Amino acid sequence: MSSPNANWDRWIFASISKHFVDNLAATAKVFIEGQKRDTRKETDWFEVRVDGPFYTEISKGYFSLYVEINILCACIMKDVNIQGIRSLAGKAASAMTTAIVVYKYGTGVSDDQSILGCLTSVTKSRGKDRIQTNHFGQIGPNTELTQATVECHYKMELEA
């Protein structure tokens, strides 16, 4: 069995982070999971969360990668626009409809900024994988905050 490249995880995470910051920052503040954050001054925000990559060696040195991306949308409740959370979720879903180009981002010797590959969304006709939005409404009776998540799964194949 071959090993996945030790840099793949880092490059994928950096590229996903940049993709969603580029696509969502004009709408609301974007936080990346693990980043220190202070939301006290924010009325709307996103948090990008990534599970994976999950690696499957499909032939010697050739891997199929699977990544789950989940974006938390948060919106302070406002009397003037009760659909604010729906607008945020729609923007997040829209950002998931395009492929995510994975670059070799970083400052190390292997980080030459070249293209590694492309994450494409996994969609199946029976709806097993899709862009999925879940609305949670107001998160507590004493907290004027609504939340939703938008999730999509992606795949990519790479040669070690």
pLDDT tens sequence for the chain (160 residues): 789 999 999 999 999 999 999 999 999 999 999 998 888 888 899 999 999 999 999 999 999 999 999 999 999 887 667 788 999 999 999 999 889 999 999 998 999 999 999 999 987 656 567 899 999 988 777 778 999 999 999 999 999 8
Global pTM reads: 0.92
The DSSP H or E segment spanning 46 is strand 44-59
Q: Are 86 and 75 in contact (CB under 8 A)?
A: no
- Give the model's pLDDT for residue 98: 87
Closest CA to 27 of 107, 91, 84, 109: 91
Q: Is 8 helix (H, G, I), strand (E, B) or coil?
A: helix
CA distances from 24 to 15, 19, 53, 125 (A): 14, 9, 22, 28
Sequence spans of domains, the chain: 8-159
What dihedral do alpha carbons 116, 26, 72, 83 form, nearest 10°? -140
Classify domain 8-159 at the CATH superfamily level.
Answer: Phage tail protein-like (3.30.2000.10)
